[in-house]
Amino acid sequence: MTVSVLPPLAAKARGAAHPDGTPCACTAAVTLADRPDATVVRHADVVAKAHAPGTDRAGLDARLAVAARLPDVFVPPLGTAPLTLGDRLATLWPYGTPVDPHTPDAAPWEAAGTLLARLHRTPTAGPVTATLRAAPAPPPMRGPLKAARALTRLRTALTTAGTPAAPPVLRAWAALPAWARGAAPMPGPATLCHGDVHLGQLVRHPAPDGPWRLIDVDDLGVGVPAWDLARPAAWYACGLLPPDEWTRFLTAYRAAGGPAVPGHGDPWPALDVPARALTAQTAAVAVAKALAADRPLDEVAAALVDACARMERAPAELTPGFPT
């Protein structure tokens, strides 16, 4: 029998919110997410997250160290060492105000581009001072591995049901270079990357109206910085993100000196492979969910599958420096 991590996680959040042990007059902990790969609860101004079973402690230590030394990019953790809850590692964070999904016109695309440029320009090694030891070396960015898990999820779903939507996704994935499928090391130079960028990863900190900051370090590490631009690029290419929003994001990233794309001119030679990978990843998740629920694809999922059907192997000249 699986024991829920929610009660001990809520207790950790409550203890961090009231470290002096004073009686708590605030409301009970609120569950923000409860998935196999992450459980997140909030109590007052503290958020506690239980990471996926099997999370590597050394890797999480290094990722926390990056977030702690970049308070102008990330919401800093409350402590730099993960807690242990049975077979799960957990971390504590201050609460930040998330993006309001009901006001898409106010989406912080400029802030997202600026924060990513700051992250990508950060040296991969931590500072060394008289009072601060060198931070542990960050591990590889996990974006390609996360994409590969999405394709595994689709293949697993296909063992019990079939759909004509799956073959285009599988072919688009198979046509990608090995590094983009998590099957080979990523090409250099090594750059600090978030690994899973979308608007749900931005919050205002301090709440409620502080500056925008990034959250979620689970996939953070060194890799190809274009991966962090790939989700909005893919949605733009699929017609799911309006051109003006894509332009706001890309312009802000370039203005802040982001190295993933040239400062001027066509960004797509750098973005093509990562955008294809994120399209296949997102389509695979959407198709797998539709199969599990025994329902047809919605409009967004259909657009992603159609994009996969249009994909061909990226010409070598479109991916300079990226081995196939």
In the predicted structure, residue 289 carries a pLDDT above the cut 70: yes
pLDDT for residue 194: 98
Q: Is residue 212 part of a domain?
A: yes
The answer on 172 and 89 residing in a single domain is no
DSSP line for 91-130: EEEE--EEP-TT-GGG--HHHHHHHHHHHHTS-SSPP--S
In the predicted structure, residue 319 carries a pLDDT above the cut 80: no
- How do residues 89-125 score in pLDDT, each as one tens digit? 999 999 999 999 888 788 999 999 999 999 999 998 6
The answer on 310 and 239 residing in a single domain is yes
Residue 89's H or E segment, with its range, is strand 88-94
Q: Chain-wide mean pLDDT for the chain?
A: 91
In the predicted structure, residue 321 carries a pLDDT above the cut 50: no
Q: Is residue 217 part of a domain?
A: yes
pLDDT for residue 28: 79
The answer on 195 and 69 residing in a single domain is no
Q: Give the integer Cα–Cα distance in Å for 100 and 106.
A: 8
pLDDT for residue 36: 86
Indicate the residue among 94, 110, 129 that finishes a domain. 94
Q: Is residue 121 part of a domain?
A: no
Q: At what angle do helices 227-237 and 109-120 cross, to 10 degrees?
A: 150
In the predicted structure, residue 318 carries a pLDDT above the cut 60: no
The answer on 281 and 170 residing in a single domain is yes
Indicate the residue among 94, 113, 128 that finishes a domain. 94
Q: Is residue 58 part of a domain?
A: yes
The answer on 213 and 292 residing in a single domain is yes
In the predicted structure, residue 9 carries a pLDDT above the cut 90: yes
Q: Is residue 203 part of a domain?
A: yes
Indicate the residue among 75, 94, 113 that finishes a domain. 94
Dihedrals phi, psi of 43, to nearest 5 degrees: -130, 115
The count of structural domains within the chain is: 2
What is the pLDDT averaged over residues 85-91?
Answer: 94
User: In CATH, what number is assigned to the domain containing residue 60?
Assistant: 3.30.200
Q: Which domain holds residue 312?
A: 143-318
pLDDT for residue 100: 93
pLDDT for residue 82: 95
Q: Is residue 221 part of a domain?
A: yes
The answer on 234 and 88 residing in a single domain is no
The answer on 181 and 62 residing in a single domain is no
In the predicted structure, residue 235 carries a pLDDT above the cut 50: yes
- How do residues 12-69 score in pLDDT, each as one tens digit? 999 999 887 776 666 678 999 999 889 999 999 999 999 999 999 999 999 999 999 9
The answer on 312 and 201 residing in a single domain is yes
SS3 261: coil
The answer on 149 and 67 residing in a single domain is no
Give the rounded percent of residues in the chain with a pLDDT score beyond 90: 81
Q: Is residue 103 part of a domain?
A: no
- Strand 97-98 and strand 202-204: the pairing is antiparallel
Q: Give the integer Cα–Cα distance in Å for 216 and 212.
A: 14
pLDDT for residue 77: 97
SS3 85: strand
pLDDT for residue 312: 62
pLDDT for residue 46: 96
In the predicted structure, residue 317 carries a pLDDT above the cut 80: no
SS3 139: coil
User: In CATH, what number is assigned to the domain containing residue 252?
Assistant: 3.90.1200
Q: Is residue 131 part of a domain?
A: no
The answer on 176 and 46 residing in a single domain is no
Burial environment of residue 124 by CB neighbours within 10 A (0 to 12, 13 to 18, 19 or more): middle
The answer on 267 and 173 residing in a single domain is yes
pLDDT for residue 124: 85
- How do residues 179-232 score in pLDDT, each as one tens digit? 999 999 999 888 999 999 999 999 999 999 999 999 999 999 999 999 999 999
Structure tokens that stand for 39 in this block: 């459980």
The answer on 276 and 197 residing in a single domain is yes
In the predicted structure, residue 314 carries a pLDDT above the cut 70: no
